[in-house]
Structure 1
Amino acid sequence: MKTALALAERGLGRVAPNPAVGCVIVREEEAGFRIVGRGWTQPGGRPHAETAALRHAGALAKGATAYVSLEPCSHQGKTGPCAGALIEAGIARVVGTIADPNPEVAGRGFAMLQAKGVDVTENVCAADAYYLNEGFFLTMSERRPMVTLKIASSLDGRTATHEGHSQWITGEAARSRGHLLRATHDAIMVGSATAIVDDPELTCRLPGLEARSPVRIVADGRLRLPLTSRLVRDAKKTPVWILTLPGGDARRREAFEGCGVTLIDVEPGEDGVMNMRTAMEAIAARGVTRVLVEGGARLAASLIREVLVDRIEWFQAPKVIGGDGYPAVAALGIKKAGDAPAFMLRGTAVAGGDTIASFVRGS
C-alpha cells in the first residue's frame, strides 16, 4: 500500500478535481510475491489508477491482489467504474484504504466488489490516504480546497527588513523545495500587496517541471494590480484568477479580462472586505482542491482567523531580522495564549542551511 500511495503522489497538482490515486497489482508465485501492474491517476484525471495498472498487468491480473490507495469508483462517468474493471479482469482480492467521499461512490465500490465475490480489505494506511487527498475530501465535506500556508522567514518570523527588502532570506535549496510545493498544488495564491511589491511570476521553475505551474490567484478586492505586472502580461500562457469585490470599475475589469485574466467576484463580509471562506468555495467550484498560499501577512492572518489553513510549510533561515522587520502573519487580535490557533508538527527537513518545518492544523 505504501507503494500505491507513493504512486498516487505523482498525480498531485495535475488531476484536480479528481483525487490522486495509486494502484499496485501483485501476484503470488512460487518464487514469492511479484508486482505485475502499477498505475496512478493521469493528468486531467483520466485514466484512473486501476485502469492504468490493469493495462500494465494484462492477463496476469487474473487471480491477483490489487492494492488501491482510495476506494475504487462504482459509478459511470466518462469511463466505466473501476470496481467493474477490477471484477472483469478477474482480480481476486482488493486491499483498500478509506471510502471515497464522493456521494456517488461512498462505499458502493467496495460493496460492488464484495457482491461479485472479490475479497475486500479496508482501512489499510487510512490516515496516510486521507492526508494525501485531504483537498479532495475537503471539497466534498466543506466545499473548499485544502490550504497550505508557505512561509519563508528568519528565525524570529520576519519576512523582510523594515525597508521591505526580502530577497533572499532563504537559500537556493529551500527555494527549490518551494517550487516543488507549487508543482504539487492546483493553485498558488498571494495577496494584492505581495503581487504589487514583489511583481512575482508564481510559476514552477524547476527543470523538467515547468509545465506543472499551477493557476495563479491574487486576492485583490479593489483591482489594484497593475496591468503591466508579470502576472497579467503572462495570463494567457499560465492562468491568472483575481478574487475581487463585485461592482468594481467596469473599464478596469474589461481591461483585465482582455488580458486573459479571470475575475471572480467575492461578496464582502460584515467588515466590508472579501469573505475568505466564500472565496475558497468559489475556488473549489472551479475544480481546485489544493491551494498554496505564499503571501502576504494580512492574507495569512485572514485565512488563519477563518480556520481555513490546514497545513503550514515554514521555511526558516538561520538569521535574525528584529522586531522592526515585516511579520510573517499580521495581527490576529488574540488576547490569551490559550486562544491561539494550534498546529501540530508533522516533520522537519533541512534544505542547505535552512530548515523546513511541516505542520498540520490541530484538532
Structure 2
Amino acid sequence: MTRGSTRVDERDLALMARALQLAERGLYTTDPNPRVGCVLAREGQIVGEGWHRRAGEPHAERLAIEAAGAAARGATAYVTLEPCCHHGRTPPCTDALLAAGVSRVVVGVQDPNPRVHGRGLERLRAAGVEVVTGVLEGPCRALNPGFDKRMRLGLPFVRVKLAASLDGRTALANGESQWITSAAARTDVHWLRARSSAILTGIGTLLADDPSLNVRLAPTLIPALATGEPVRQPLRVILDSALRMPLTAKMLLLTGATLVATCVQDAKRIAAVTSAGAEVWVGPPDAAGRVDLEALLRYLAEREINEVLVEAGPTLAGAALQQRLVDELVLYLAPHLMGSDARGLFQLGPLASMRERVPLELLDVRQVGPDLRLRARLAEDTVNSDD
C-alpha cells in the first residue's frame, strides 16, 4: 500500500489501528468535538499515546506528546484525524507536533472542518515533516459520522431507532407497546443514546408515553468517566408543531436540557413552556403546516449537534425517511408476532408500484439477547421490472 511516494507497511496499519482504539474511548464524551486518537512510535515501538476526552480538554496529539516526553523527537505520530492548525478551544496541534520534533505524521482522514481541511497537513509539510494520509481512512471517517456531515453539509447525522415484532408491528391497535423487545435490547439503546448529541421524538409519543429520553448507564461503564463523573445527557428535542407540550412532562424534571420545536407564534404558551424548564424554538412550517424537519436539523447543526437519535412513532419516522433525512436505521426485531391489526413501523403512504419501495442496504445484523438488531442505510434502488 502506498500514499504518493511513501510506502505504508503493516506496522503503520497496526499503529493506526491502535490510535483508532484510543479514539473510540471518547465515543460518549467528546461531543461536539470529534473522537480522535494519537500514537507516537519510534522504530515501531510505542513511546506515547493519547485520546481526546472532551471539548476544552487537551487534544489527543498533545496528550501523546506529553506521555512520550523527549522520546517524541524523531518519532512518527499516528493520528486518526488531521491535526488542527487553528486556535479553537485549545491551541493548534500542528504547533505541538512541530515543537516536539516529530519527523513523520500518518493521518487517517482529513479534517472536514473548513478551518482545517488540508491546512494542517500543509503546515506540517512546509516545516519538512513527512506526511502520509488515508491510512485506515474508512474506519477513521466512520468514527465521526455526525461531525463529518455537519462540517460538510450543515446537517447532523440522523439515526432512527425502532423496535418491532417479527411481523413489523410497533404497538397493539390500542397503543400498548411496553415491552416489545427484551431488557438486553433496551439496554443496548442506552448506548445509542449515550453517543448521540440529541434525541428527537414527536409530541404524539410524548403524550402517549411520557418518556424520559435520558441515558441510564452507570458512569463506570464508560472509559472516559471511570472516575464516576455523571454521564453526558443528550439534548431532548420534541417536535411539537401545535405547541401542546405538557408542563408536567417527566423529562422536564430530569438532568439535561429539553428543546421544544414548534411553528406556533404564541407568546403566552411559549412563556409557560419556558417557565416549566424547556427551551422553545419557533421554526418555519412545511407545506402541511408542521415544523419543517430539515430546517430543525439545520438549526441543531448550528448548535453543534453531531448525531441525532430519532425515537418516535411511525409518523415522524416515516416523514424523515420520505424526506431522505435519515442516514441510518437501527431496528430491533423481537421474536414474536403481534397481528395484522397492530401498528406498523412507518407511515409512508400507499405505493403504486414495486419501484416506489424504499431500498435499504444492510450494514450489520446481530443478536442482542433474544432479539435481532439490524443496522441499515438508504440505498439506490437497483430493482428491475419483471421481464
TM range (shorter): over 0.9
Is the 1:13–1:290 contact (alpha carbons within 8 Å) kept by the matching residues of 2? no
Question: What is the aligned partner in structure 1 of residue 261 from structure 2?
Answer: 243
Question: What is the aligned partner in structure 1 of residue 280 from structure 2?
Answer: 263
1:210-237 alpha-carbon deviations (Å, 9 max, x no partner): 5222111111111212111101233xx3
Is the 2:242–2:264 contact (alpha carbons within 8 Å) kept by the matching residues of 1? no
State the TM-score, normalizing by the size of structure 2: 0.88
Question: What is the aligned partner in structure 1 of residue 232 from structure 2?
Answer: 212
Calculate percent identity across the aligned residue pairs.
40
Distance in 2 between the 1:337 and 1:84 partners?
57
Is the 1:148–1:291 contact (alpha carbons within 8 Å) kept by the matching residues of 2? yes
Distance in 2 between the 1:306 and 1:39 partners?
40
Alignment of 1:216-235 (within 5 A): 216-234=236-254
CA change 1:16–1:224 in 2 (3 A) is: same
3-state DSSP class of the match of 1:54? helix
Structure 1 residue 291 corresponds to structure 2 residue 308: yes
Distance in 2 between the 1:135 and 1:358 partners?
16
- Which amino acid in 2 is paired with 1:266? G
- Which amino acid in 1 is paired with 2:217? L
Shift of 1:45: 4.8
Question: What is the aligned partner in structure 1 of residue 371 from structure 2?
Answer: 354
- Which amino acid in 1 is paired with 2:262? T
Distance in 2 between the 1:333 and 1:14 partners?
42
Distance in 1 between the 2:130 and 2:312 partners?
48
Alignment of 1:111-150 (within 5 A): 111-150=122-161
- Which amino acid in 1 is paired with 2:250? R
Distance in 2 between the 1:334 and 1:45 partners?
50
Alignment of 1:63-212 (within 5 A): 63-208=74-219, 211-212=231-232
3-state DSSP class of the match of 2:259? strand
Shift of 1:24: 1.5
1:47-72 alpha-carbon deviations (Å, 9 max, x no partner): 21111221222222111111111111
CA change 1:245–1:95 in 2 (3 A) is: same
CA change 1:198–1:113 in 2 (3 A) is: same
Structure 1 residue 41 corresponds to structure 2 residue 52: yes
Distance in 2 between the 1:362 and 1:86 partners?
41
Shift of 1:87: 1.2
Distance in 1 between the 2:49 and 2:308 partners?
28
1:51-105 alpha-carbon deviations (Å, 9 max, x no partner): 1221222222111111111111111223221111111111121111221111111
Is the 1:217–1:241 contact (alpha carbons within 8 Å) kept by the matching residues of 2? yes
Structure 1 residue 14 corresponds to structure 2 residue 29: yes
Is the 1:189–1:218 contact (alpha carbons within 8 Å) kept by the matching residues of 2? yes
- Which amino acid in 2 is paired with 1:214? P
Question: What is the aligned partner in structure 2 of residue 336 from structure 1?
Answer: 353
State the TM-score, normalizing by the size of structure 1: 0.94
Shift of 1:110: 0.9
Distance in 1 between the 2:214 and 2:181 partners?
18
Match of 1:277 among 291, 294, 302: 294
Distance in 2 between the 1:222 and 1:47 partners?
44
Give the length in aligned residue pairs.
356
Structure 1 residue 23 corresponds to structure 2 residue 38: yes
3-state DSSP class of the match of 1:12? coil
Shift of 1:13: 4.2
Is the 1:218–1:243 contact (alpha carbons within 8 Å) kept by the matching residues of 2? yes
Distance in 2 between the 1:97 and 1:334 partners?
43
Runs of 4+ aligned residues of structure 1 deviating over 3 Å after TM superposition are none
Distance in 2 between the 1:211 and 1:98 partners?
29
Is the 1:14–1:186 contact (alpha carbons within 8 Å) kept by the matching residues of 2? no
Is the 1:153–1:169 contact (alpha carbons within 8 Å) kept by the matching residues of 2? yes
Q: Which runs of 5+ in 2 are unaligned?
A: 1-15, 223-229, 381-387
Shift of 1:351: 1.1
Is the 1:244–1:266 contact (alpha carbons within 8 Å) kept by the matching residues of 2? yes
| Worse overlay, 70-79 or 182-191 | 70-79
1:310-350 alpha-carbon deviations (Å, 9 max, x no partner): 01111111111122111121124443332333221111221
- Which amino acid in 1 is paired with 2:357? A
Distance in 2 between the 1:336 and 1:133 partners?
37
3-state DSSP class of the match of 1:39? strand
- Which amino acid in 2 is paired with 1:216? R
Q: Which runs of 5+ in 1 are unaligned?
A: none
Pairwise CA RMSD: 1.6
- Which amino acid in 2 is paired with 1:347? D
Shift of 1:264: 1.1
Is the 1:145–1:290 contact (alpha carbons within 8 Å) kept by the matching residues of 2? yes
Structure 1 residue 59 corresponds to structure 2 residue 74: no
- Which amino acid in 2 is paired with 1:35? I
Is the 1:93–1:120 contact (alpha carbons within 8 Å) kept by the matching residues of 2? yes
3-state DSSP class of the match of 1:83? helix
Is the 1:71–1:99 contact (alpha carbons within 8 Å) kept by the matching residues of 2? yes
1:127-158 alpha-carbon deviations (Å, 9 max, x no partner): 22222212112112221100011111111111
Is the 2:245–2:273 contact (alpha carbons within 8 Å) kept by the matching residues of 1? no
